[in-house]
Chains A and B, each alone.
Chain A
Amino acid sequence: MRALVRAALVIARRDYVATVFSRTFLLFLLGPVLPLLFGLAFGAIGAGADEAARPTVVAIASPADAHALRAARDRLAARLGAGALPPLRFVTPRENPRAQARRLLGGEHGGSSAVLSGGLDRPVLTGPRAAIGSIDEDIALILDEAQQLRALGRTAPPPVSLEIRPTERSAATSVQDRAITARAGQIVLLVLTAILSGMLLTNLVEEKSSKVIEILAAAVPVDAIFLGKLIAMLGMSLTGIAVWGAVAAAGALAMLPPEASLPQPAVGWGTFLLLGLAYFVAGYLLLGGLFLGIGAQASTAREVQTLSLPVTMGQLIVFALASAAVARPGSGVAIAAALFPWSSPLAMFARAAQSALLWPHLLAILWQAGWVAVVIRIAARRFRVSVLDSRGARRGWFGWRRVGREGGHA
């Protein structure tokens, strides 16, 4: 066992150094940042576009009505936010309101999306259906408020000052809140595991193409090769996660308000994050072992893609199973999700958000570690049988032989 671990660490060290100290690793680190930057950039552009596309309403109103509408809008905007209501511009009425509305819609006074006429008593909103359809209720709300303010006159009360007293979450809401944390944790875990372990698919293809695999296989057990590669890629993934996590934490501290956070998980944030790390490692090794085994069967990147498709679909099913466990903790589905090796990390991580009991996690981690050993063993065996042991005839996953294209060796 010591020899196997020692050999695995030699291979892991080589792979880790070769990967992390390469230029492509920088691109790998930038990978998740680029979509974020694009998102922010396009978000800003989109926000500008939304501002430009917001309908402008010109109100044909007497000075008194204009004053009332402006006051009503300001009062509502103080509660709903200025962006929630369409901006109003005011023009004084002329002899023919309909003709004036047409001119305004046609471009007079800088143009407008809609025209409000008829004063507070018989208001009419004129404009293209697409424009007035999105603002008619907002305009009606402003008109209501304006009418009430006019009716109350000086007796209109000032806006209510609401005192805010935050408390700990009530028992009724904590279950729902923790489910949010559980789902968020599952999604993060799934995304990280799937993206990072997927890289293992091509790992052995490269190894085979560099012809080093025979040197490795002659010197150390194939299990050690697989374990070493998993450790190396896990180390690389944790390095990436550490960098991304640090950047994300710094960004969150700088940009998000202090009160913006997920609900506290049942086991507390510290334990939750530690368990998250443990379940990521377990999930990564389980899925990575599977991917490595599949990658070992393939000779080309195209074969890798073909072989990985069923696993990718399987991941979606696993996520659905783990997700169902969040909705019904303690149910048969939740137990099944915790027991099935590939959904177990996701299900148990969610459980850490929903239940404070710690001993099930110890059992789950041991269970998953056992399965990691089994997966590596099977994948290594398949690799040995189908690649090293039959350069002329390669066997399928279930043992049948197929004639390969590598005959002619001596």
Chain B
Amino acid sequence: MTRDFAIEARGLVKDFAGRRVLDGIDLAVPSGTIYGLLGPNGAGKTTLLRALLGIIDPDAGQRRLLGEEAPLKAARLIGYLPEERGLYPAMTAREAIAFMGALRGLPLAEGRRRAAALLAAHGLGEAAGRAIRTLSKGMAQTVQLLGTLVHRPRLIVLDEPFSGLDALNQERLETLIRAEAAGGATVLFSTHVIAHAERLCERIAIIADGRARFEGSVEEARAKLRPEVRLGTRAADGAWRAALPPGAARDSDGIWHFALPENGIEPLLRALIDGDAGIETLSIERPGLHEAFVAIAGEAAAAQMGAAGVLAA
């Protein structure tokens, strides 16, 4: 294990009530990147984050955060937003942020000063002195997120950070995550929304049934699938059809769909021209992360993601 990685995990195992929730997960989050844990509900993402942060101890395996084998030793350099949001209802927004900073070693006075500045920067300056219980859900979530960042952590861990946010606040959060990463922080977040991971992440891990089915860059995930070719011809039939790869299928509009042949598109093009197929449309589309996810995690996991109503986000 090296210090080029903000997080390293090897063979993490965790059982609950005889059920294996983490099944030998390996993870390596490079420093300074935005890294996504992608998986349906119940895949083990939250348990993995808790195990990484030391909230729970894995039954087997190794973990290292910012070079520390005991995660709490690096607590001052870590910011964590749990999936279950929680703030003291009677605390003011400013005090709540300063308190979260104080837990991570930031002096209270400095925490209050930074809290006021952060709240003002995020359009919540007027809410600084208001009790959490008087804030809207979105405002309270923002306050908690700012509390996660107030001590300027080097590693930011966000568990389902987009959950419960409206589209505008989701966009703001994406901007914030990019800004933190641009400032040198490593951001690890879990999500069951493929679009967020696709837009934000440099690297991802696809988690399903407690196992990391894939770990690498988004490009590498997409590269798991060959690009899809769509072909429309004037002629319905001819000798050129023999040049189509096996598995090519024609839809109701007469468009052929097939994976880009391994030897490239040129031999096929030559056969189409020589066979007088009459090419009307030809497109080569790179698969999205969704298609890669389906291919990697399986239809069932993809269906769960879809059932959560999030694919379109």
A388 to B53, CA, bound (A): 12
A389:B46 contact, CB within 8 angstroms = no
Bits for B62-78, please: 1 = Cβ < 8 Å to A, else 0.
00000000001001001
Answer whether A10 and B99 are a contact pair too, CB < 8 Å, given A214-B82, A218-B53, A218-B54. Answer: yes
User: Taking A211-B85, A215-B86, A218-B75 as contacts, is the C-beta distance between A10 and B39 under 8 angstroms?
Assistant: no
Hey, which chain B residues are within 8 Å of A403, CB to CB? 17
User: Beta-carbon contacts of A2-42 to B below 8 Å, as 1s and 0s?
Assistant: 00001100110010001000100000000000000000000
Residues of B within 8 A of A14 (CB): 88, 91, 99
B90 and A213 form a contact (CB under 8 A) = no
Which of B100-108, B120-128, B218-226, B294-302 touches A? B100-108
| A210 adjacent to B16 (CB under 8 Å) | no
Q: Decide if B17 touches A390 in the complex (CB within 8 Å).
A: yes
Residues on the B chain within 8 Å of A216, using CB:
103
B42 within 8 Å of A by Cβ? yes
> What residues of chain A lie closer than 8 Å to B46, measured between beta carbons?
409-410
Q: How far is the CA of A403 from the CA of B16 in the complex (A)?
A: 9
With the chains together, A408 CA to B87 CA distance in Å?
A: 23
Binary CB contact string for chain A from 367 to 410 against chain B (1 if under 8 A, 0 otherwise): 00000000000000000100011111100000001011001111
- Cβ-defined contact, A392 with B104, below 8 A: no
B41 part of interface (Cβ distance < 8 Å): yes
What is the bound-complex CA distance between A404 and B46, given in angstroms?
Answer: 18
- Is residue B57 within 8 Å, beta carbon to beta carbon, of the partner chain? yes
B100 to chain A: which residues have CB within 8 Å?
215, 219
Task: Establish whether residues A390 and B54, one from each chain, have CB atoms under 8 Å apart when the complex forms.
Answer: no
Do A210 and B99 contact each other (CB < 8 Å), given the known contacts A220-B75, A410-B42?
no
Known A219-B104, A220-B103; judge A212-B17 contact (CB<8 A).
no
* B39 to chain A: closest residue by CB: A410
A393 vs B16: C-alpha distance in the bound complex, in angstroms? Answer: 6
How many chain B residues touch A (CB < 8 A): the figure is 40
User: Chain A: interface residue count, which band?
Assistant: 20 to 34
* Cα distance A18–B85 in the bound complex, in angstroms: 20
Most buried by B among A6, A214, A393: A214
Complex: how many Å from CA A168 to CA B157? 72
Residue of A nearest to B99 (CB): A14
Is A217 an interface position by the 8 A CB rule? yes
Residues of A near B75 (CB, < 8 A) are 218-220
Query: How far is A210 from B50 in the complex, measured between Cα atoms in Å?
Result: 18
A219, A220, A408 pick with most chain B CB within 10 angstroms: A219
Q: Say yes or no: is B196 at the interface (Cβ < 8 Å to chain A).
A: no
Nearest CB in chain B: distance from A19 CB, A: 10
Question: Is A211 a contact of B82 with CB atoms below 8 Å?
Answer: yes
Contact of B102 among A10, A217, A391 (CB under 8 A): A10
Which one of A211, A220, A388 contacts B86 once the chains associate, using CB atoms below 8 Å? A211
What separation, in Å, do the CA atoms of A396 and B206 have in the docked complex?
A: 35
Cα distance A349–B311 when bound, in Å? Answer: 68
Contact, CB under 8 Å: A219 / B87: no
Q: How far is the CB of B129 from chain A (nearest CB, A)?
A: 15
Q: B14 — nearest CB in chain A belongs to which residue?
A: A389
Q: Is the CB of B103 within 8 A of A410?
A: no
Is there contact, CB below 8 Å, between B16 and A408?
Answer: no
* Contact call B88/A10, Cβ cutoff below 8 A: no
Q: Chain A nearest CB: distance from B36 CB in Å?
A: 14
* A386 to B: closest C-beta gap in Å: 12
A393 → chain B, closest Cβ, in Å? 3
Give complex CA distance A14, B87 in Å.
Answer: 12
Q: Is B55 an interface residue, CB under 8 A from the partner?
A: yes
Judged by a CB distance under 8 angstroms, whether B44 is at the interface is: yes
Query: Any chain B CB within 8 A of the CB of A221?
Result: yes
Q: Provided the pairs A219-B75, A388-B55, A389-B56 are in contact, do residues A7 and B103 lie with their beta carbons within 8 angstroms?
A: yes
Which listed residue, A215, A393, A404, A409, touches B47 by the CB 8 Å rule? Answer: A409
Whether, in the assembled complex, B84 has its beta carbon less than 8 Å from a beta carbon of chain A, the answer is yes
**Cβ contact within 8 Å between B72 and A220:** yes
Return chain A residues, CB-CB under 8 Å to B164: none
Task: Please measure, in the bound complex, the distance between the C-alpha atom of A163 and the C-alpha atom of B229, giving whole angstroms.
Answer: 122
When each residue 9-50 of chain B gets 1 if its CB lies under 8 Å from chain A and 0 otherwise, what string results? 000000011110100000000000000000101111111001
Contacts of B41 in A (CB 8 A): 408, 410
* B89 proximal to A (CB < 8 A): yes
> Residues of A with Cβ closer than 8 Å to B?
6-7, 10-11, 14, 18, 22, 210-221, 384, 388-393, 401, 403-404, 407-410
> What are 9 contact pairs spanning A and B, CB under 8 A?
A6-B105, A10-B102, A14-B91, A210-B89, A214-B50, A214-B86, A389-B57, A392-B16, A410-B39
CB-based closest 8 A-B pairs: A211-B86, A393-B17, A392-B16, A219-B103, A212-B86, A214-B82, A218-B80, A410-B46
